[in-house]
Amino acid sequence: MTANFADRLIWATRLKQTPLIVGLDPRSDRLPIKLRPEDPENLKSLAESFRQFSCEVIDVVAPLVPAVKPQAAFFEMLGPAGMTALAAVVNHARSRGLLVIMDAKRGDIGSTAAAYAKAFLGHDSPWGCDALTINPYLGPDTLDPFVESAKKQGAGLFVLAKTSNSGSSMIQDLIVDGETVYAKVATLIQTLSLQTKGEGDYGCVGAVVGATYPEQLAELRSKMPNAILLIPGLGAQGGTAADVAAGFDDHGLGAVINSSRAIIFAYENSMYAGFANNWQRAVEQATRDTIAQLAAETNARRLLG
């Protein structure tokens, strides 16, 4: 295992034999009943519920997947108590051997970008994350501090390219000089990926491409052959295993597939009604089912022994 993030992520993916990662998006009205605080307006109590829920999800999925992706916003909205809870979740995930991709979509100019990078990237940083999602729409110079920090810390970046939300087309699909904005961003990401390659084919600068746009996913896979793709949108947002198939290379690598709500709130799904009194069993079964779906419908099957 090397210090390069791409190499570490691929190693972990091969070890767990799946590209599935689990998003940690706790929501007060969807927590299992026994984890809901008596007073949901009490931010400290709610933060503790979020911490406990997320850590118990981690305990279930740690043997099954290579990484988790905490969504910072759900913790930030609880103020200082939420940030303390988020730090505990990151530390717990790392203690269970998982890579941690912080979904915070940071992006700014100059020294501010450098400060964000210093805050999040690498195990020696205050947040101790393995990777961070970032926004490129302030321009390529705003990515430089993140890239330099990622290389130095052995960390990774996932740059927004074609996001899974329905409104992404307003900007990302605009045609400029005969090319979409998302394609221009992809060209930049590919350049940065080549510059940050580890021992394998992939660099530590990857891209976020939504499962809800399978045609664009295929296009972007071909434009970024050296970038690992972080693909959200599987499950609750409508993306299917078949939709993400184009994200993989011939070896079943080059992509990690995120599922959040469909897994962490699986106990609400009638499919898992048999686990109504054991929400963690529902999480485990939903994780195993998603792993199986990816293996059945994509090149992820090649990760199996």
Q: Where are the domains of the chain?
A: 5-298
Residue 292: per-residue pLDDT? 97
Task: Give residue-wise pLDDT tens across range 204-239.
Answer: 999 999 998 999 999 999 999 999 999 998 877 788
Q: Which of 137, 229, 132 is CA-nearest to residue 190?
A: 229
One of 3.50.50.60, 3.40.190.10, 3.20.20.70, 3.40.50.720 is the CATH number of 5-298, namely 3.20.20.70
Spell 36-75 as b/e; 16+ CB within 10 A means b: bbeeeeebbbbbbbbbbbbbbbbebbbebbbbbbbbbebb
Residues designated as active site = 105
By C-alpha distance, which of 259, 223, 228, 225 is closest to 243? 259
pLDDT score for 1: 38
Q: Is 3 helix (H, G, I), strand (E, B) or coil?
A: coil
Count the Cβ atoms, other than its own, within 10 Å of residue 157: 33
Which positions of the chain have pLDDT values less than 50?
Answer: 1
Task: Check residue 275 and give its pLDDT.
Answer: 86
How high is the pLDDT of residue 169?
87
pTM summary value: 0.96
